Every structure is written in C-alpha cells, then in structure tokens.
Amino acid sequence: MKKRTLHIGLDDTDSTKRGCTTYVAALLVEQLEEIGASFLDYPNLIRLNPNVPWKTRGNGALCLRIEHDEKLTSRIKEATINMVEEQADFEAKGTDPGIVFFDKQTIPKEITIFAKKATTGIVTLKEALRLINKFKGEALGFNTYRGIIGALAAIGETLQEDYTYELIAYRAADNCGSKRKVDEDSIFQMDALTKPYTFNNIDTEKRRLIITPRGPDPILFGVRGENPHIVKEAFTMIKPLEPVERWVIFRSNQGTDAHLKRVPALNQLKPYSSIIAKGVVSQNPWIVPLRHVIFPIRDESGKVDCAAYEPTGVLRKVAMKLVVGDSVEVYGAVRKSSASKRLTVNLEKIRVIGLAPKIVYNNPLCAKCGRRLKSMGKAQGFRCEKCGSRYSGLAKVAVAVERDLKTGLYVTSTRSQRHLTKPLRRYGLEKSGWTSEKLIDEWHSFQVELM
Ligand code: ATP
C-alpha cells in the first residue's frame, strides 16, 4: 500500500443566506475518514485579509491535510467535489466556490508567501493559477472561480508560527435561521473556569455572548482556545438548549494578529491592508456623528486619520483622552474614503507609547486676596469678584495637568474584534511552531444528543 499526502483547500461555498465553508469541511472530515483517509492535522481554518470587500463574513478558508492509500485518491477527490456541489449556495450572487488539491508533502515557499499576502493584502486569481500550474496542483472553480484564491491560500498557510484552536458545534438543519438556544450562564461559567486558555467567549463590557454568531449559518457556537484539550473541556461545560448535530476542532490563525503588517512610514499605508504604524498625535481628537472618535497622527513622511468607532468601547475612550504630542502605535485596517480619497486607519488597538504634557490655561490669581480672577472679555483684563481689584496686562497661566491615561496597549472591545485580532488574554500565550503532534483521540463527532 503506497501512502500519499493530499492537501485539500476549500473556499467561498456559502452566502449570507445559508451555509458555511467550515460546515462543508466538517461533513468532509467524516466522509474522508469513512473512505479511509487519516488526518495529518486538525482541519485548518484560515482567516484571510479581513478587508477584502467581496467577503461574505469573516473571510475564512479551509484546508484538510490527509494521508491515504494512493488507490483512494480519485474517490477522495470525487467525494470533495460532490460535497461542494451539494452544499454550496450556487444561486447566491458572490458565491464562487473553489477547490484546490495539492499532493506534495511539503508546501512550496512561494505558496506560503502567497498565503501571507492573502492574509495581509490583496492577491489575484491569476497569481493563484500561476502557482497551481507551476507546482502541479489541481483546481476546480465555480462561477467566477474566485474561491480558488482562498482555497490555495488555506493550503499555503501551514500555521508554523502562532496558532489557536476552535471547536465549532453545529446546529441541526431544521433550526438554522431561528434564534440560537444555549444556556448563557453555562458560557459565563465556562469562561471563568477556562480563562486565560479560552478567549472571545463573552464581551465583558456589555456582558454579551460572543461565541454564538448571529445569522442563518449552521454554527451554534465556537469555542476558541490555546489547545485542543481546553476547547473540548470547555465544550463539555456549555449547556446547549437545542441539538448539537456535530462538532469539529479546527486549528487556526484566529486571534494571532496574522493580518497586521508593520509599516515603517505613514506614506506607505495602502487601502485594504491592516497595519501597525507609529506616529505622533497632531490634533486633539474630535467626535463625529454616531459617536466615532477621530484623531490624526503624523511622522516625517506624512499624516493619517485614525478612527475609533463607537463599538470599539475602551478604545474609543482611550482615543478621546489623547492630546497633541502623544506618541502612539496604531493597529488597524486602512480604508480610503470614497468622498475625500483620504486614508483612515480603523483602529483595532492603540499602544500609547509616550504622553505629552496636557496643558490647560487658567485665569491668574488676585495678587491682593488670592482668589482666581474673572476675565472681563477678550483683551479687557481681569477682575477679582471678592475684593474688586482690576488688572490689565495679565495673561492666562499655562498649567500642566495630570493625564487621565496610562501608557500601554489597549485593544478594541471583544464584540468588535476581528477573527484575527489577538485579544489581550492571549498576550504571553503565543506559540512558536507546530510539530505535527498527534491529534487528540476524539477531535470531531457526529452525534449528539438530539433533543
Ligand atoms: P465564509 O467564511 O463564511 O466562507 P467568507 O467571509 O470567508 O465566508 P467568502 O465567501 O469565502 O467569504 O468570500 C471571500 C472571497 O474572497 C473568496 O472567494 C476568496 O477566494 C477571496 N479572497 C480571500 N482573500 C483574498 C485576498 N486577500 N485577495 C483577493 N481575494 C481574496
């Protein structure tokens, strides 16, 4: 029996009305195991550039990495194609499924670089097809074929640097579209018992659940964490109040900041990228309609506006407290305004590096009685309301006041974090390398107590 390796990339099977590519992967896991394949890794859930305008939701793509008897190759490929054909929402505009098969053991560097680029910027179908041709992969696309981009990028992101896990529990088909029923208290308890090794379960500011998505997709909830054991343990602590049809543990780049690229100068910012850049606040922040806070930063090369939107919670409060001269590092997505053509960084994080003195201008004190003077109007001098003394030629006095802000890193509220944003809870828990460890015994299941 000759063993073969196969990497199967999948993307863009769903629409805003139904489906989810992770669910297609979950169904395939079961089918491929039945055929006789064994998994070399947990299915990889790869989040690509969150600023891609044509994404459905979280710009996720999937890769299954398997080993199998070479006699099974065509059955495996056929099962994959059939599954996508059965599950994809072909009627929806903008659903352009893609499948890529790649049968080399090692992923070529060029494909890895392509994946990094697809996570941080924009790539083209032409680039994807060139690489598939060059390295003798196989691709199958539907509609515009755009899904091939994500399918190849998922193969190329082998998660050799930092990574996390997510256990996704799926709903029974009949329940899709209705309100999700999960015991809320059990999720709060699970979070308390598993932190810091699970993350993004709840939004602590609003005491709201994050692990249950909204929308008609088949996900009941997803638990994110540092290792497969903890997400599975967390899963057993959650009380679903509707049937869980199946669940799967994925390995992922979620929560790793993989989308952020450091740029050395502000004149190098490009729309649709997510960046980390340093600058000095060049104007005090102001509030625009919908309570968003805007402030510009500059460096020697240029200037850019930064926006802390209302749902960013703590970040918005921090942004409000900045003053001219503060030195900051901003993290976020670069957007180009269609009206003004100006670039704005939509903030995900701010690192306050240095605080400038905050100066307020006070009226001087009365030389006779020590009371603070009243201004009599512009260039009209000052008057003491207590003893009646009048002064001309005095000026307001500059006073440095204590700043109500500390240096350090501030992260957007959990509810407005992108899938890729590294939450504060993960700082210090980053991993540096995947060593093809043995998968845990039961990492997926088709079950379960149907109620
Ligand atoms: P889901 O996660 O539910 O599958 P989604 O939000 O991932 O939905 P898709 O439906 O997969 O969105 O649509 C994203 C499309 O954009 C895919 O066709 C994918 O190939 C393509 N794409 C992803 N990243 C990039 C990129 N960096 N440059 C160009 N195209 C991209």
pLDDT tens profile 152-197:
999 999 999 999 999 999 999 999 999 999 999 999 999 999 999 9
Q: What is the largest CA-CA distance in the chain?
A: 104
Residue 21 CA, ligand 1 centroid: distance in Å: 10
What residue's CA is closest to ligand 1, atom 7?
Answer: 59
Pocket test for ligand 1, best of 16, 52, 63, 148 (most atoms within 8 A of CB): 52
Q: Which atom of ligand 1 is nearest to the CA of 49?
A: 27
Residue 50 CA, ligand 1 centroid: distance in Å: 9
What residue's CA is closest to ligand 1, atom 15?
Answer: 55
Whether 451 shows a pLDDT value over 70: the answer reads no
Angle between helix 228-237 and 184-194 (nearest 10)? 150
Whether 403 shows a pLDDT value over 80: the answer reads yes
Q: Which atom of ligand 1 is nearest to the CA of 151?
A: 20
Element (H, E) at 133: helix 125-134
Q: What is the pLDDT averaged over residues 398-403?
A: 90
Q: Mean pLDDT of all residues in the chain?
A: 93
* Block residue for tokens 């999700």: 180
Residue 305 CA, ligand 1 centroid: distance in Å: 27
What residue's CA is closest to ligand 1, atom 8?
Answer: 56
> Which residue(s) pair with 64 in the sheet?
8
| pLDDT at site 90 | 81
Q: Is the pTM of this model over 0.75?
A: yes
Residues 6+ apart with CB under 8 A from 115: 46, 152, 153, 154, 155, 156, 157
* CA–CA dist 287, 308 (Å, integer): 10
Pocket test for ligand 1, best of 48, 99, 214 (most atoms within 8 A of CB): 48
Q: How many CB atoms lie within 10 A of CB 297?
A: 24
Whether 415 and 203 have beta carbons less than 8 Å apart is answered as yes
What residue's CA is closest to ligand 1, atom 23?
Answer: 150
What residue's CA is closest to ligand 1, atom 11?
Answer: 12
Q: What is the pLDDT averaged over residues 370-397?
A: 91
Residue 3 CA, ligand 1 centroid: distance in Å: 32
Residues 6+ apart with CB under 8 A from 413: 203, 205, 206, 311, 312, 313, 314, 315
Q: Which atom of ligand 1 is nearest to the CA of 96?
A: 18
Whether 450 shows a pLDDT value over 70: the answer reads no
| pLDDT at site 293 | 95
Residue 88 CA, ligand 1 centroid: distance in Å: 14
Residue 159 CA, ligand 1 centroid: distance in Å: 18
The pLDDT confidence band at residue 449, using thresholds 50, 70 and 90, is low
Q: What is the pLDDT averaged over residues 76-99?
A: 90
Q: What is the pLDDT averaged over residues 79-101?
A: 90
The alpha-helical segments, DSSP class H, found in 3-72 are: 21-35
Residue 107 CA, ligand 1 centroid: distance in Å: 21
What residue's CA is closest to ligand 1, atom 13?
Answer: 55
pLDDT in tens, 210-252: 999 988 899 999 999 999 999 999 999 999 999 999 999 999 9
Please list every protein residue whose CB sits less than 6 Å from any atom of ligand 1. 11-12, 14, 20-21, 48-49, 52, 54-60, 96, 118, 122-123, 146-147, 149-150
| pLDDT at site 85 | 93
The pLDDT confidence band at residue 1, using thresholds 50, 70 and 90, is confident
Task: Number of helices (H) and strands (E) in the chain: give both, helices first.
Answer: 8, 26
Question: CA 78, 84, 90 angle in degrees (round to 5)?
Answer: 135
Residue 47 CA, ligand 1 centroid: distance in Å: 9
DSSP E strands: which ranges in 392-439?
A: 397-401, 408-411
pLDDT in tens, 272-291: 999 999 999 999 999 988 88
Question: CA 368, 372, 374 angle in degrees (round to 5)?
Answer: 105
Whether 419 shows a pLDDT value over 80: the answer reads yes
Residue 393 CA, ligand 1 centroid: distance in Å: 67
Residue 53 CA, ligand 1 centroid: distance in Å: 9
Q: Which atom of ligand 1 is nearest to the CA of 119?
A: 27
Q: How many CB atoms lie within 10 A of CB 350?
A: 26
Q: Which residue has the higher pLDDT, 340 or 11?
A: 11
* Of 408, 305, 315, the residue nearest 353 (C-alpha): 408
Pocket test for ligand 1, best of 44, 47, 59 (most atoms within 8 A of CB): 59
Q: What is the pLDDT averaged over residues 365-383?
A: 91
Residue 9 CA, ligand 1 centroid: distance in Å: 12
| pLDDT at site 310 | 85
* CA–CA dist 291, 281 (Å, integer): 20
| pLDDT at site 27 | 96
| pLDDT at site 386 | 92
Whether 94 shows a pLDDT value over 90: the answer reads no
Whether 448 shows a pLDDT value over 60: the answer reads no
| pLDDT at site 379 | 84
| pLDDT at site 433 | 80
